[in-house]
Amino acid sequence: MMAYSADMTTTLTNDLDRPYPLDRATIDAFRAQGFVHLKQVLPPEVLDHYGREITRLTIALNTQTLPLAERTTYDRAFLQVMNLWQESQVVRDFVFGKTLARVAAELMEVGGVRLYHDQSLYKEPGGGITPAHADQYYWPMATDRCVTAWIPLQAVPREMGPLAFYAGSHHSALGRDLPISDESEAAITAAMEAQDYPIVDAPFDLGDVSFHAGWLFHRAGPNVSATPRSVMTVIYMDAEMTLAEPTNAQQREDWAKWCAGASVGAVIETPGNPVLYRRATA
């Protein structure tokens, strides 16, 4: 395990702010398919340095104590901890990096993005499937201008359960009323197959990052390897996103947890939802 000097750490932080070029074809693909899988976005040294702190905090702060065999399907999918940026300056530097925030803004074609929350997802060896679902079921947002960056902290071959996307499924409303569960896995899988939305389940090389829209249906397979699958996610929303009246109990919970102080119909500009990137104006 490499140790990093102060100068090297500064260099790594700078690597979190370097532009990642997107062409028009990639932006159009995101609009059509609801996701993109980008190659060589972050250097291995960045993922090693920040990933060690993310993984350490995930293990330290997670509250799951049951053995895998005694958990629900959802709890077998991964250990998860949210808003690690509030627990560590190292993780804050990672979450506030402009490389990924800029990509999110360009893919959504908005003037800037703010943080909804971050979420560490640690799929243990033997961890189960992540059932099919759409993230925006949980989010009280007034528009679909929101996106999740899925950032593996190591390579993710198929046996470790890479994220898999139903390409184009953000155009479908079927299944949007289902929380993540055994029921969502069965119903959404059937709906996707009936509507001919293909599933894309490519492995992730070290440095790859995917971005998927809030209403895109996705899932992940089990981790049948002997190695934990450690992933960091950052959820970005349009910097001008307004709070919608919640349509379910989970959205009310999200409002209280991640948008505390925001008002329905107003921009979600709370201390917990800082702007991470704005495009320069001419």
Positive or negative, the CA dihedral 195, 197, 198, 204 is negative
Establish if 162 belongs to a structural domain: yes
- What is the average pLDDT value for the chain, to the nearest integer? 94
261 pLDDT band, cuts 50/70/90, is: very high
**Per-residue pLDDT at 239:** 98
- Mean pLDDT in residue range 57-71: 90
Q: Is pLDDT at 91 greater than 60 in this prediction?
A: yes
End-to-end CA distance of the chain: 45
Q: How many CB atoms lie within 10 A of CB 260?
A: 11
**Per-residue pLDDT at 9:** 62
Establish if 223 belongs to a structural domain: yes
- Which is higher by pLDDT, 117 or 77? 117
Read out DSSP for 26-86? HHHHHHHHSEEEESS-S-HHHHHHHHHHHHHHHHHH----S-GGGS-HHHHH-EEEE-GGG
Say how far apart CA 107 and CA 105 lie, in whole Å.
6
pTM (global) more than 0.85: yes
Task: Tell me the one-letter amino acid at 11.
Answer: T
Establish if 3 belongs to a structural domain: no
**Per-residue pLDDT at 88:** 96
* Surface-to-core class of residue 27, CB atoms within 10 Å of its CB (0-12 exposed, 13-18 middle, 19+ buried): middle
237 pLDDT band, cuts 50/70/90, is: very high
Establish if 6 belongs to a structural domain: no
Q: Is pLDDT at 3 greater than 70 in this prediction?
A: no
Question: What pLDDT digit, counting tens, does each position of 104-146 carry?
Answer: 999 999 999 999 999 999 999 999 999 999 999 999 999 999 9
- Which is higher by pLDDT, 262 or 7? 262
**CATH at 95:** 2.60.120.620
Establish if 10 belongs to a structural domain: no
Q: Is-contact 123 226, C-beta < 8 A?
A: no
Per the structure, how many domains does the chain have?
1
Say how far apart CA 147 and CA 156 lie, in whole Å.
21
Phi, then psi, of 151 in degrees rounded to 5: -120, 95
Residues 6 or more apart whose CB falls under 8 angstroms from that of 208 comprise: 37, 38, 39, 40, 41, 152
- Mean pLDDT in residue range 197-221: 98
Q: Is pLDDT at 29 greater than 60 in this prediction?
A: yes
- Tell me the three state secondary structure of residue 231: strand
Q: Is-contact 108 161, C-beta < 8 A?
A: no
- Which is higher by pLDDT, 71 or 237? 237
6 pLDDT band, cuts 50/70/90, is: low
Half-sphere exposure of 209 (CA within 13 A, CB side): 24
Question: What pLDDT digit, counting tens, does each position of 104-113 carry?
Answer: 999 999 999 9
Which of 62-71, 111-120, 157-166, 167-176 has the weakest average pLDDT?
62-71
Which residue range forms the structural domain that includes residue 237? 35-272
Q: Is-contact 109 148, C-beta < 8 A?
A: no
Phi, then psi, of 200 in degrees rounded to 5: -115, 115
Establish if 14 belongs to a structural domain: no
Say how far apart CA 11 and CA 237 lie, in whole Å.
28
Which of 45-49, 65-69, 169-173, 214-218 has the weakest average pLDDT?
65-69
Buried b (16+ CB within 10 A) or exposed e, 78-111: bbbbebbbeebebbebbbbbbbbbbbbbbbbebe
